[in-house]
Amino acid sequence: MCGYTSRLALLVVALCLSLSPRVRALKGAEELAMADYPWQTTVQNGVVTDVLYPGTAVDRLRSVLGNVLALGSLDGPWTEVRRQLLAAGGLKDDRSTGHAFNDDNHCDLTTMRSEESFKQNEDGSVAQISRRNQLGPHIQAASLPELGVGGSWSTCTNGAHITPPNDVAHVQFSSRIAFKLVWVPPKFEEFVLVDDEGRELKRGRPTGQVPHISARQSNFALVKGGKYAQAAEAIAAGGGGGDCKQAGGDGSTCAAA
Q: What gap in Å lies between CA 134 and CA 115, rounded to an integer?
A: 13
Q: Is it the case that residue 73 has pLDDT exceeding 90? A: yes
Alpha-carbon separation of residue 63 from 25, 138, 152, 179 (angstroms) = 23, 21, 11, 12
Q: Rg (Cα) of the chain, in Å, rounded? A: 20
Reference 39, options 255, 194, 193; nearest CA is: 255
Q: What is the mean pLDDT of the chain?
A: 80
Average pLDDT estimate for 241-245: 55
Alpha-carbon separation of residue 186 from 209, 229, 235 (angstroms) = 19, 13, 10
**pLDDT value of position 134:** 53
Q: Which amino acid is at 212?
A: H
Whole-structure pTM value: 0.77
Q: What tens digit of pLDDT does each residue of 217-227 get?
A: 999 999 999 99
Average pLDDT estimate for 49-78: 96
Q: What tens digit of pLDDT does each residue of 84-107 get?
A: 999 999 999 999 899 999 999 999
Q: What tens digit of pLDDT does each residue of 174-224 get?
A: 999 999 999 999 999 999 999 999 999 999 999 999 999 999 999 999 999
**pLDDT value of position 27:** 41
Alpha helices, H only, the chain: 2-18, 21-35, 58-70, 78-88, 136-142, 213-223, 230-236
Residue 14's contacts (CB-CB under 8 Å, 6 or more residues apart) are none
Q: Is the previous residue joined to 165 through a cis bond, with omega within 30 degrees of 0?
A: no
Reference 113, options 52, 176, 155, 69; nearest CA is: 176
Q: What tens digit of pLDDT does each residue of 128-175 get?
A: 454 455 565 778 888 999 999 999 999 999 999 999 999 989 998 899
